[in-house]
Amino acid sequence: EMWTEVCDVPRYAEAFASVCEDAAEIGIEVAIEILPMTNIRTLETATGIVSQAGHDNGGLCIDIWHMVRGGISFDEVAKLPASYFKSVEIDDAKAEIEGTIWEDTLFHRLYPGEGAFDCPGFINAVEKAGFRGVYGVEVISETYRKLPVREQAKRSFDGTMAQFAKLD
């Protein structure tokens, strides 16, 4: 279920640099997403890859679910260089993992504000770091995917905007 091998940062950075070079040719950015159940599970590892790759179009996808479940504090997120933020994802979940960690991430996410995550605290942290981009709402849910698309969109929007309304 969980990868235990240590990430070979120089090797991954070399591969990431190659992807960034190819992406730069067509004007796109590339993001590494930290996942607590893989060998890129810490900010230290992920930022090491980005830093060693050395391309401005390479950075991170910061998802609240992966930060909370991976034990990464929002204080750590707030200290990231603004240039490292290529995308930010917000969602929510129950306090405890449901099933395995993979099942939790693939089937049990909730709309922002419906779970135990501190969504406003997360937003404050990424904004403190200098992120000024668009937020993605990534609610992967076995239950919610059965809902009509318009209802999903409305609940995603309403739940997310309610979190922004709670900011300091």
SS3 20: helix
CA dihedral 154, 87, 32, 53 (to 10 degrees): 170
User: What is the tens place of the pLDDT at every residue in 114-154?
Assistant: 999 999 999 999 999 999 999 999 999 999 999 999 999 99
Indicate the pTM of the whole model: 0.91
Write the pLDDT tens digit of every residue in 14-44. Answer: 999 999 999 999 999 999 999 988 888 999 9
Q: Which DSSP category does 97 fall into?
A: P
The CA dihedral of 93, 98, 104, 108, to the nearest 10 degrees, is -60
Decide: 40 and 7 in contact? Cβ < 8 Å: yes
Q: Which contacts of 41-49 are long-range, i.e. CB under 8 A and separated by 24 or more positions?
A: 41/3, 41/70, 42/70, 42/72, 43/72, 43/76, 43/77, 43/80, 45/7, 45/9, 47/80, 47/84, 48/9, 48/13, 49/7, 49/9, 49/12, 49/13, 49/16
Give the per-residue pLDDT at 117.
Answer: 98
Residue 3's pLDDT is 60
Ordered domains of the chain (ranges, CATH): 9-165 (3.20.20.150)
